[in-house]
Structure 1
């Protein structure tokens, strides 16, 4: 019977990072989830949704020659650049093929960070407990002396190590994933847990979706060190009562607003644009954001509004790095 890659096992969020007895923790990477198999000289590299990504990542396909035949891994595609994980480099790769993909692989090669073993030399390992799969994965890396593009995801049962990992947000580590030591690999099941690092910070409201009196979303900015108000991200959709409360602190934008004529994206990595109304960049809000940022320091995921900070002025908000 022909073996095929299963659906990936999934995780559910938890509100705090406690490492429970009987569980292991792994680093959560800011990359593309991917499953790879090498079987009789054929390599499949699939996204979480089943899209074939091999043509876009020829360095991973070529690297599969290091794996034993009839072996499959679960992991994360990442690109490391200038001391941080560069998610934008991955996004730019998806539509490239042939010479374009080869050039991108040469300029910013991707790595496959393996965190689970699905098949080993023809043996389906998904029914094995995590502890056994992990030991076999570590043995695979050691005995085959795997090198780039392969990397082994760190794992631990030490709470102190988890606390250390949670300080690595500046380089793009999103948090931790927890797996039961005796747990099977269950395709499509949310049997793992994940904790994403979030920080509380401030930003300036420069525009809104909806109306000024009752905004549905806030477009956020920070000044750079050249005193230019840069767009840094947006909030999740506001509840109506919250929007009404925020609207009481906003005034419509005046001529000469620093974002006049700008087109603002509906989301990081998409070309869809937002219909926005400019407001005077006077209101500071406190928000919760995760660590996913692009090369310019913009937040890739929507921020969660905590509260207006009428006690702060825009000059109290942290600066954004100058865009070159």
Structure 2
């Protein structure tokens, strides 16, 4: 491979912002919920690189063939890998595509085919495009990808300079699995590993039950520190594990471990006493179970009496769980733990993913 921009390249990043800016000079795109991916193509040779510059090529053989058909012969393109299922993006299904067994990779390539959406151009033929302003890179990208089919596996990201349109996307596209919008300064060059873009994500709160905790990786017997709170919500089947809350200062970690240790109970009789059954297949996985993502880590936890309620911030749900680690807001001593159920969560109106590809 001999390109004007060669791997490894770390992609340009975004810093969070509370609202869609209205100052002008910014191009907006839907924020895709997938794997960031840089595509390097030199003739028949194609390399897919992750956000951390690790190779993804072997995991997506079906997409490699589609990229050979869709992309220019020599180019470097920034974009996102995603898996769509029933008219929405499904990150958990995308995660399943990363598997060590070649036979499993081939099977999933048929059962869960991935797609790629392109949103920036770093190189074209013999030209390094990174110093060009985004408006020129985007125009060049649109020019070379003008013949893409909306039903294919390779797409060109939708874009607008209208803040009102971006605000509409922010509201409506979540129903198809998007988690916000991204803004890119039109005059900015491509800056690898720099947060020169902005991202506006959904922000919500929920009252959840604290039913367990894990020690921090630096915790010792002499100075135990909280690593994460294990959170639950009630439904007809009992208390379901929905995620974790893990961002605290060291001083607060020590205080919380001492405070919550008083609530420790035997695992027998705890709502999650059945942990370990159906570790991967169970959609409401409980803590302490292994999966292909745990890498053999110690996932044991300290079971706590489910009597404390905490308000946490989150962006969106993935199925029955929080998509990302939640943010601690405050304790809610006024809440009855059994009243913390799924009904309090905001219902997102479904949106047809196929319409996102329509300009």
Normalised TM-score (structure 2): 0.78
Q: How many pairs are equivalent?
A: 317
Residue pair 2:83, 2:114 contacting (<8 A) in 1 also: yes
Q: In the alignment, which residue of structure 2 is the partner of 1:270?
A: 294
Match of 1:46 in 2: 49
Matched residue, 2:91: 87
Q: Partners in 2 of 1:146 and 1:140 — Cα distance?
A: 15
Distance 1:155 1:146 in 2: 15
Write the mapping of 1:247-286 to structure 2, written as runs, cut at 5 A: 247=259, 251-253=263-265, 255-260=268-273, 262=275, 264-265=287-288, 269-271=293-295, 272-286=297-311
Secondary structure at the counterpart of residue 18 of structure 1: coil
> What is the CA deviation profile of residues 223-275 of structure 1, one whole-angstrom value per residue up to 9, with x for unaligned ones?
1223x111111101434447747937963336511112536259993242334
Deviations 1:175-196 (A, max 9, x none): 2222110111122333222233
- Note the alpha carbon deviations across 1:66-103, whole angstroms, 9 max, x for none: 22211221100000112332212222222256443222
Q: CA deviation at 1:150?
A: 0.4
Give the match for residue 225 of structure 1: 236
Per-residue displacement from partner, 1:193-244 (whole Å, max 9, x unpaired)?
Answer: 2233221111111112359x98553110111223x11111110143444774
Change (3 A) 1:194 1:266: farther
Instruction: Give the match's secondary structure for 1:222.
Output: strand
Q: Which residue of 2 aligns with 1:9?
A: 11
CA deviations on 1:14-62 (whole Å, 9 max, x unpaired) are 3412323211122221111111122121111111222222121011110
Give the equivalent residue in structure 1 for 2:280: none
How does the TM-score come out when normalised to structure 1? 0.86
After superposition, residues 59-78 of structure 1 pair within 5 angstroms as 59-66=62-69, 67-78=71-82
CA distance in 2, matches of 1:250, 1:200: 27
Q: Is the 8 A contact 2:288 2:301 kept in 1?
A: no
1:125-161 CA distances to partner (integer Å, 9 max, x unpaired)? 2222111111222222224657621012122211112
Q: Which runs of 4+ in 1 moved over 6 A?
A: none
Give me the whole-angstrom Cα distance separating, in 2, the residues matched to 1:46 and 1:245.
40
Specify the alignment match of 1:236 in structure 2.
246
- Name the CA distance, whole Å, in 2 between partners of 1:68 and 1:214: 53
1:302 aligns with 2:325: yes
Q: Provide the C-alpha distance between the structure 2 equivalents of 1:83 and 1:312, rounded to a whole number of angstroms.
A: 37
User: Matches of 1:235 and 1:85 in 2, distance apart?
Assistant: 24
Root mean square deviation, CA, Å: 3.0
What are the within-5 Å matches in structure 2 for residues 1-324 of structure 1?
2-3=2-3, 4-5=6-7, 7-19=9-21, 20-66=23-69, 67-96=71-100, 98-143=102-147, 148-167=152-171, 168-210=173-215, 215-226=226-237, 228-239=238-249, 240-241=251-252, 244=255, 247=259, 251-253=263-265, 255-260=268-273, 262=275, 264-265=287-288, 269-271=293-295, 272-291=297-316, 293=318, 295=319, 297-319=320-342
Structure 1 window deviating more from structure 2 (6-15 vs 249-258): it is: 249-258
Task: Tell me, in whole angstroms, the C-alpha distance in 2 between the residues paired with 1:187 and 1:122.
Answer: 19
Instruction: Please state how far the C-alpha of 1:301 moved relative to its aligned partner.
Output: 2.2
- Going from structure 1 to structure 2, the CA distance change for 1:314 and 1:101 (only over 3 Å counts) comes to same
Which structure 2 segments of 5+ residues have no match? 216-220, 277-286, 346-359
Q: SS in structure 2 opposite 1:82?
A: coil
Q: Distance in 2 between matches of 1:237 and 1:14?
A: 17
SS at match of 2:198: strand
CA contact (8 A) 1:203 1:222 kept: yes
